[in-house]
A and B are shown apart, each in its own frame.
Chain A
Amino acid sequence: MRLKLLLFSALSFMLSPLCLAQQGSGGFQTAVDSVTSVDSSNTASRQWFSHQVDYARHWWNSLFPSKFVMQNAGNMGFLSGGVGWGYGGRQQWETGMLMGWIPKHRSSSAKLTLTIKQSYIPWSQSIGKRWSVEPLRVGVYLNAVFGDQFWAEQPKRYPTSYYGFSTKFRVNVCFGQQVSCHFNLSDSHTPSIVFSFFYEFSTCDTYIMSKLKNSRVSWTDIIGLSLGIAVQF
């Protein structure tokens, strides 16, 4: 039941911008029209108002996810997919929200995970008109795995502060590189659709602790590779 609710909320979250897009372009426009018809002589107040509307629309539009992301492995499931928001002057910041799927393999059931990811892409180097290379992308992400056997805080059955960790949440760090391909669809006014192909090396907090405590655990044991695609639209 909880799983169904989760899937439903994830789906509605991904589809919600469709409704918002229509509201955003229609709703504010009528408000401006009605004001202009009442008081068309006062241009200063009209300018102020339309500036406010522009600002509100810009703010409203920035709530829309600007990219779709799909990634494999990386301690968040066999395959994860979700939406991302790119921002910053050079689009150097990226916040993502991904749902992941852990296959059943040899356990009793498959599991779902949810990841909130913050990435930073400091440099971008253009190669010709179409291609660009981002030599570094670093990120931090919080992963939650869903299931009754995983807890954020130890259940009441245990003695007070017996397990000083959470089995549900893992903090991961990653670093990698990406290549982007820019497509101009119609005219120069609209931003192009950007396909980014990236790879990342990632590890999680407890693996790092194990590595630091044990010289026998090697870096290659704890660091995993992950491949991904982001489509900015």
Chain B
Amino acid sequence: MKPIVRYCLGIFLPSVWMPFCCLCLLLSSCEKTFDIHPYDVTLNMPSQINLANMARIENACEGKDTVRVAVISDTHEWYTDMHDEVDDINRHTSVDFVIHLGDLTNMGFNKEYEWACKELSRLQPPYVVLIGNHDHLGTGDESYDLIFGPRDFSFIAGRIKFLCLNTNAGEYDYMADVPNFSFLQQQIIQSVGDFDHTVVAMHIPPYSNQFNNNVCLAFRAYLDYFPDLYCGIFGHNHDTYEKALFGDSLMFYGVGSAQKRKYRIFTFTNAGYEVETIAF
């Protein structure tokens, strides 16, 4: 048989390819068995966790004078350490809610989100997750939007407003409104009167690589419009340290990675706040 005939026979042999395609379509419901691609954004993701949990936090903390917050960050692919971290937070029953400061994943894979969400779902207190620079990679930012919700968000616990900001300007090649000043401006007036104190949380701190360092001072100036600014909290550097990043009274607290096996618990009251560093 001539090669050309054989070739045509092979390519147009629908009796083999068509049933196979149908079989694949039938099997597409078994997402756990068949790995389509690390960057496939699948259908079985939980959705809008932050929005649901913020409502839970606001309800649970309403009228409270003291708010205790556990802050973790940069869990990346250290799921075993993250597991222990979650266990340790669950032992601190006085914790009202948990903030994860970003870098939930290492490469923004669908599976990495699934594994991290599985650990987070074991947390007894409600939690919110910020977006970190690693969470942007590939389709990671799309997954984040689906699983957690908007990248800039805020909520009020007790009489304290928690501003959670996306500061990963480097991931947008410094071409997007990151940090989002419109959001900040809007937050100054939104539910004014419901809060007396403010805490600002972000993944990348000012003056760090990937922050839009051209606007550091402008960012600081905007924060002054918020009432009684307690402190700033950030992740990204994998180290537990504190520094007045602008050389003024505003302290910034760095939260270490899960691998370093340390996290922080903040106790906010109307009079001020206390910080504990917990090793687990």
Contact = CB atoms under 8 A, between A and B. Distances in A.
Contacts of A4: none
A204 interface: yes
Contacts, number: 156
B105 to A, nearest CB: 10
A210 interface: yes
A150 B80 CA distance: 28
Interface string B229-251: 00000000000000000000000
A51 B4 CA distance: 24
A210 B35 CA distance: 16
A224 B109 contact: no
Residue with the greatest number of chain B CB neighbours at <10 A, chosen from A76, A214, A215:
A214
A111 interface: yes
A150 B107 contact: no
Interface in B1-49: 1-4, 6-11, 13, 16-17, 20-21, 23-24, 27-28, 33-43, 45
B215 to A, nearest CB: 16
B83 to A, nearest CB: 6
Interface residues of B, number: 55
A143 B21 CA distance: 21
B78 A213 contact: yes
Interface in A113-127: 113
A231 B13 contact: yes
Interface stretch (B91-99, B136-144, B218-226): B136-144
A226 B34 contact: yes
A231 B37 CA distance: 25
B111 A150 contact: no
Nearest to A189: B1
Interface of A: 14, 17-18, 21-22, 24-25, 61, 64, 67-68, 70, 72-79, 81, 100, 102-103, 105-108, 111, 113, 143, 145, 149-150, 155, 157-159, 162-163, 165, 167, 170, 185-186, 190, 193, 195, 202-204, 206-207, 209-210, 213-217, 221-222, 224-227, 229, 231, 233
